[in-house]
């Protein structure tokens, strides 16, 4: 035991001598300790999950952690009344990780991989809020009251820059797999025919006509043809390669060979190019033409209403739950201790919010 104590003393001495950074405790909520690293990672998580948020500093991160752990503490202290089952989290993670190619899951899966603890804390908080509202009819009634149309309109006017229609594109996309067993002469003939198609498309948008001409000698992929003006994410969900969709949305000059660039605009034809698609790893000859696109189109208020209503209901839910928790904190039912006094201001804001 004497040698163990001596080792601890030496370690502490070395820590002071060499300035080892200790992950100090900032605050405690019940049995949960919030460290400096927790606050910093939550700040980074908020920045990545919502880049437009104005509340992505350390103080805001601490307030979010205080709220989350207050909710968890309250539910755990009342487990005989409020039912929360861990399998809810397990089911959510199972759905998230088993649908990696679903567009709505991709961004959430990236957040989960980059910030697993912070991501799971947010999911647990939301699930526990649902459990609280199921138990407390008074809070549920306050949360579910109708959102006023004037309130939604005011929010829309203040945040119009964020309410944009999803980008739409109208493209011609022609693709054929790179043959594995062609002779050199056959490859040259294929590339010659593809070049003829590209030259034709520089003068005409009638892709059906040119594909009919070559369909007996070129095995076009099923997605080849013209899309019509459609939302880019819909095309992605149908299997159009992300490389092509990114190209169709690009507004910056792109490299196009030695000392050359190309800017994608209406009427521009690219290809034939040999491209390896990330989705399946296959090499394909590709011809692309941008017919038209709509970027950053303002979403009308009427179409924005469902989004705004959900946002305001989420905001109201957070406010109602927090107010209920602050009352319990003031009555001593939930204990919060701010260890790092530089965060006293953030704690005061948390109690007032």
State pLDDT tens for residues 164-192.
888 999 999 999 999 988 899 999 999 99
Percent of the chain with pLDDT over 90: 49
Q: Which secondary structure element, helix H or strand E, spans residue 286, and what is its range?
A: strand 283-294
Query: Which domains, and CATH codes, for the chain?
Result: 2-160+300-352 (1.10.4030), 168-294 (3.10.50.40)
Taking the whole predicted model, whether its pTM rises above 0.75 is answered as no
Looking from the CA of 224 toward its CB, the CA atoms found within 13 Å total 24
Which of 96-100, 225-229, 284-288 shows the lowest per-residue confidence on average (mean pLDDT)? 96-100
Residue 261: CB partners within 8 Å, gap ≥ 6? 253, 254, 255
Strand partners, 27: 34, 338
- Please measure the distance between the N-terminal and C-terminal CA atoms of the chain and give it in whole angstroms: 50
pLDDT band, very low/low/confident/very high, at 29 (cuts 50, 70, 90): very high
Q: What dihedral do alpha carbons 279, 283, 284, 290 form, nearest 10°? A: 50
Can you tell me the distance from the alpha carbon of 236 to that of 239, in angstroms, rounded to the nearest whole number? 5
CA distance 29 to 69: 6
Exposure letters 254-287 (e unless 16+ CB within 10 A, then b): eeeeeeeeeebeeeebbbbeebeeeeeeeebbbb
Q: Are the beta carbons of 277 and 241 closer than 8 angstroms?
A: yes
User: 336 pLDDT band (50/70/90 cuts)?
Assistant: very high
For residue 67, what pLDDT is reported? 93
Q: What is the mean pLDDT of residues 115-122?
A: 90
84: how many CB neighbours lie within 10 A of its CB?
19
Write out pLDDT tens, residues 251-303.
888 877 667 788 899 999 998 999 888 877 889 999 999 999 998 889 999 99
C-alpha–C-alpha distance, residues 79 and 2, integer Å: 44
Distance between CA atoms of residues 136 and 75, nearest Å: 12
E strand or H helix at 155: helix 149-158
> Which pLDDT score is estimated for 102?
56
């Amino acid at each position: 035991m004497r040698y163990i104590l001596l080792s601890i003393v030496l370690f502490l001495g070395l820590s002071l001598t060499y300035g080892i950074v200790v992950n100090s405790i900032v605050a405690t909520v019940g049995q949960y300790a919030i460290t400096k690293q927790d606050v910093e990672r939550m700040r980074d998580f908020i920045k990545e999950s919502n880049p437009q948020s104005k509340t992505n500093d350390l103080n805001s991160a601490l307030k979010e952690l205080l709220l989350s752990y207050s909710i968890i503490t309250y539910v755990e202290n009342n487990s005989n009344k409020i039912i929360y089952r861990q399998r809810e989290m397990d089911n959510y993670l199972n759905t998230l990780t088993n649908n990696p190619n679903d567009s709505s899951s991709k961004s959430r899966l990236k957040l989960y991989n980059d910030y697993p603890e912070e991501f799971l804390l947010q999911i647990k908080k939301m699930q526990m809020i649902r459990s609280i509202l199921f138990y407390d009819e008074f809070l549920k009634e306050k949360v579910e009251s109708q959102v006023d149309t004037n309130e939604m309109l005011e929010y829309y006017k203040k945040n119009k820059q964020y309410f944009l229609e999803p980008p739409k594109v109208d493209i011609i996309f022609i693709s054929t797999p790179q043959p594995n067993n062609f002779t050199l002469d056959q490859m040259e003939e294929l590339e010659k025919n593809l070049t003829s198609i590209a030259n034709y498309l520089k003068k005409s948008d009638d892709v059906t006509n040119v594909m009919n001409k070559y369909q007996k000698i070129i095995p076009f992929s099923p997605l080849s043809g013209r899309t019509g003006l459609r939302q880019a994410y819909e095309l992605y969900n149908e299997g159009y390669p992300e490389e092509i969709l990114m190209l169709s949305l690009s507004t910056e000059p792109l490299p196009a060979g030695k000392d050359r660039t190309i800017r994608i605009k209406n009427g521009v034809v690219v290809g034939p190019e040999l491209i390896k698609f990330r989705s399946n790893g296959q090499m394909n000859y590709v011809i692309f033409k941008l017919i038209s696109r709509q970027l950053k189109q303002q979403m009308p208020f009427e179409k924005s209403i469902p989004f705004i209503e959900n946002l305001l209901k989420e905001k109201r839910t957070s406010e109602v739950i927090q107010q209920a928790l602050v009352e319990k904190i003031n009555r001593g039912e939930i204990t919060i201790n701010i260890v790092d006094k530089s965060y006293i201001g953030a704690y005061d804001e948390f109690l007032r919010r």
